[in-house]
Structure 1
Amino acid sequence: MKWEDLQSSENIEDRRGDEGPMIARGPRIGGGGIGLGTMLILGLVGWALGINPAILIGGAQMINSMRGDREVVLPQQESPQPHQGAVTDRMGRFVSKVLGSNEEVWSKTLPEQKGVRFEPPRLVLFDGYTQSRCGPAQSAMGPFYCPLDRRIYLDVSFFRDMQRRLGGGGDFAYAYVISHEMGHHIQNLLGILPKVQRAQQMAGSRSEANALSVRAELMADCLAGVWAHNGNQRQKFLEEGDIEQAVASAQAIGDDRVQRAQRGYVVPDSFTHGSSAQRTQWLLKGLKTGSIDACNTFNL
Structure 2
Amino acid sequence: MRLRGVRGSSNIEDRRRMGGGGAAVGGLGIGGVLLVLAIGYFTGIDVTPLLNGGTTAPTTGQTRDLTQAEEQAGQFSSQVLATTESVWSGIFPQAFGKEYEPPVLVLFSGVTQSPCGGASGATGPFYCPVDEKAYLDTAFFAYMQQELGAGGDFAQAYVIAHEVAHHVQDEIGILPKINQMRQDASERDANAMTVRLELQADCLSGVWASQVDGLLEPGDIDEALNAAERIGDDYLQRRAGRVPNPHSFTHGTSEQRQRWFSTGYKSGDPAGCDTFNAPEL
| TM superposition score normalised by structure 1 | 0.83
- The aligned residue for residue 134 of structure 1 is 116
8 Å Cα contact 2:22-2:111 kept in structure 1: no
| Cα 1:261–1:186 shift into 2, 3 Å | same
- The aligned residue for residue 10 of structure 1 is 10
Aligned counterparts, 1:264-279, within 5 A: 264-279=242-257
Aligned counterparts, 1:52-201, within 5 A: 52-54=46-48, 63=50, 67=52, 89-201=71-183
Say which SS state the counterpart of residue 127 (structure 2) adopts.
strand
Superposition deviation, residue 4 in structure 1: 2.0
Aligned counterparts of 2:38 and 2:6: Cα–Cα separation in 1: 28
Superposition deviation, residue 6 in structure 1: 1.8
8 Å Cα contact 2:228-2:254 kept in structure 1: yes
- The aligned residue for residue 59 of structure 1 is none
| Structure 2 residue runs without a partner (length 5+) | none
What CA RMSD, in Å, does the superposition of the two structures yield over aligned residues?
2.7
Superposition deviation, residue 48 in structure 1: 3.2
Runs of 4+ in structure 1 over 6 Å off: 72-75
User: RCO higher in 1 or 2 (8 Å CA, sep ≥ 6)?
Assistant: 1
Q: 1:294 aligned to 245, 252, 272, which one?
A: 272
| Cα 1:26–1:167 shift into 2, 3 Å | farther
Aligned counterparts, 1:219-238, within 5 A: 219-232=200-213, 236-238=214-216
State, as a whole percentage, how many aligned pairs show the same letter. 46
Which one-letter code corresponds to 2:44 in the other structure? G
Between 260-269 and 131-140, report the one with greater CA deviation. Answer: 260-269
| TM superposition score normalised by structure 2 | 0.88
Say which SS state the counterpart of residue 13 (structure 1) adopts.
strand
Say which SS state the counterpart of residue 153 (structure 1) adopts.
strand
| Cα 1:28–1:210 shift into 2, 3 Å | closer
Say which SS state the counterpart of residue 85 (structure 2) adopts.
helix
| Cα 1:74–1:108 shift into 2, 3 Å | farther
Aligned counterparts of 2:42 and 2:252: Cα–Cα separation in 1: 10
8 Å Cα contact 1:54-1:135 kept in structure 2: yes
| Cα 1:73–1:148 shift into 2, 3 Å | farther
Superposition deviation, residue 263 in structure 1: 3.1
- The aligned residue for residue 60 of structure 1 is none
Superposition deviation, residue 231 in structure 1: 2.3
- CA deviations 1:140-179 (Å, max 9, x no partner) are 0000000000111110100100011111111000000000
Say which SS state the counterpart of residue 245 (structure 1) adopts.
helix
- The aligned residue for residue 197 of structure 2 is 216
